[in-house]
Structure formats: C-alpha cells, structure tokens
C-alpha cells in the first residue's frame, strides 16, 4: 500500500522560504506515469492546488504562485519536495502531498497533511 | 473567488438523495475531466469520483458523478450520517494551464 508523508518546519518567518518534503513508501516514485503534487488548505478554507511534477520531470504550477514555487524530485530518496519563497501570513495552511493520475487530479493517495504557520 | 463554483452548503435527511453542483467554463469543465473529493472533518481529502463519473475501488455506488457542458454534479443517494463532509470538485483549466478547485460544499445530514 502506497503511503505519503509530509515533513518540514511547522513555523516559518515572513519573507523566508518554506521547504517541505514528501516521502513515498510502499512503491517507487519513478515507476508509472504519475503526477506528484502539492495542495494546501488555509485554516477553515478550501483546497488550493500549488503544483505538480510529472514522472518525466515536467512541472506545472499554479499561476498565482508560479514565481515563488519550485517542486523537485529526488528518486534516490523516493521523495519529492516543495519550496515556496518569500512567504507571508497568507501562506499559512495545511500542506498536503498527493499522487495524481491525471493533469486535472485523480489524486488517489494523499499524505496526512502538515500545518505550516508563517509568523515572526 | 474559486474558478469552479459550488454551493457553499447542501443538506438532506438520511436515505434521501442529494446533489452538489459544480459550474465552470469552456476552458475547464467544458473541455476536461472533472474530479470529486470528499473531506471528512480533520482528515485529508479522499478521491470520490474521477474522470467525470468513475468510482475508485471501495467507493460505494451511492456516489455518482455526471457532466454536461460546463457543469458537473455529484449525486449521493441513500444519504447516511457518515456522508457529512466537505465535497470539492476539480478540473484542469487550459487557459490557466493549471488545476482548479471549487470552493467546496459542506454537506449536512439532518
């Protein structure tokens, strides 16, 4: 059974960089035609897609975050990562990693989510 | 303001059939698949419907999805108390070259 687990700092200062890692277990991140992505949810609000990286290495980002986001894969560690620069309080959210089967979603496996708070 | 429009809430009594709508445009729902996710309180979203009307293994056939033009719907029949959750629709948007979500609909079982 595939499992995804997010990890990273729970508190980030304004203007700094948020870095999260998603560790995949129970299967290889480099097997199959999947999209490995990040989705976030501000407290009490809805879901927002951040971006995805395809198995080929192609990346797709939310246009509203594109200038600040980088998603990368480390196949040797079976992990993929999120970097979000110049964070503000508006970036405070529960961050989920997920495996998608299609461009539009079809996310069949999710991590449990990790709360990141942006505050000084 | 979400690109896909959902009613903020829906409700029904046990056993009833309820539908949740998701309205978009030609660049998203009109030309791409629609997906539905269920988020129970305090948990990660769960895939409920993929590619407009397909159910993943393990999802009861009480849940069904449909799409017509630039709108989609999720129907839940035989409503149960455990169906009380937030429901989100999603699709790829060709104009944005990105994925978009609806704002979510909170389903209450009365």
Place of tokens 């990790």: A114
Taking the Cβ of residue B88 and every Cβ of chain A, the question of whether any pair is shorter than 8 Å is answered with: yes
pLDDT of residue A99: 97
Place of tokens 């629709």: B89
| Nearest CB to B98 within list A49, A96, A102 | A49
| Nearest CB to A60 within list B50, B97, B104 | B97
Taking the Cβ of residue B97 and every Cβ of chain A, the question of whether any pair is shorter than 8 Å is answered with: yes
- The pLDDT tens digits for A85-102 are 999 999 999 999 999 999
Confidence of residue B43 (pLDDT cuts 50, 70, 90): very high
Taking the Cβ of residue A106 and every Cβ of chain B, the question of whether any pair is shorter than 8 Å is answered with: yes
With 90 as the cut, is the pLDDT of residue B48 above it?
A: yes
Cα A81 to chain centroid distance, Å, stands at 6
- Residues composing chain A: 120
Give CA–CA dist A83/A53, Å, rounded. 13
- Residues composing chain B: 110
| Cα–Cα distance list, A116 to A21, A58, A96, B63, B110 (Å) | 12, 26, 11, 33, 34
Contact B90 A105 (CB under 8 A): yes
Give CA–CA dist A120/A113, Å, rounded. 22
- The pLDDT tens digits for A37-71 are 999 999 999 999 999 999 888 999 999 999 999 99
For residue B50, which residues of chain A lie inside 8 Å, CB to CB? 101-102, 105-106, 108
Question: What 8-state DSSP symbol labels residue B75?
Answer: E
A-contacting residues of B 33-52, CB under 8 Å?
33-35, 37, 39, 44-47, 50-51
Query: Which tokens in the block code for residue A113?
Result: 């989510």
Reduce the secondary structure of chain A to three states and give it as a string.
CCEEEEECCCEECCCCCEEEEEEEECCCCCCCCCEEEEEEECCCCCCEEEEEEECCCCEEECCCCHHHEEEEEECCCCEEEEEECCCCHHHCEEEEEEEEEECCEEEEEECCCEEEEECC
Q: What percent of chain A has pLDDT over 70?
A: 100
């Amino acid at each position: 059974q595939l499992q995804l687990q997010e990890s990273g700092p729970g508190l980030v200062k304004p203007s700094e960089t948020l870095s999260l890692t998603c560790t995949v277990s129970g299967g290889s991140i480099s097997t199959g035609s999947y999209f490995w992505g990040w989705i976030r949810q501000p407290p009490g609000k809805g879901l927002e897609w951040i971006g995805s990286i395809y198995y080929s290495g192609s990346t797709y980002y939310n246009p509203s975050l594109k200038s600040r986001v980088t998603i990368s894969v480390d196949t040797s560690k079976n992990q993929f990562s999120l970097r979000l620069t110049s964070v503000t309080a508006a970036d405070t959210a529960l961050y989920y990693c997920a495996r998608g089967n299609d461009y539009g979603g079809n996310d069949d496996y999710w991590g449990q989510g990790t709360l990141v708070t942006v505050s000084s | 303001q979400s690109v896909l429009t959902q009613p903020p809430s829906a409700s029904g009594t046990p056993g009833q059939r309820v539908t949740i709508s998701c309205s978009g445009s030609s660049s998203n729902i009109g030309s791409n698949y629609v997906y539905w996710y269920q988020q129970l309180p305090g948990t990660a979203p769960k895939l409920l419907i993929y590619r407009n009307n397909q159910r993943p293994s393990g999802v009861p056939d009480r849940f069904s999805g449909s799409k017509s033009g630039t709108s989609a719907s999720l129907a839940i029949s035989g409503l149960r108390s455990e169906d009380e959750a937030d429901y989100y629709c999603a699709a790829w948007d060709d104009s944005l070259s990105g994925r978009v979500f609806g704002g979510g609909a909170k389903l209450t079982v009365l």
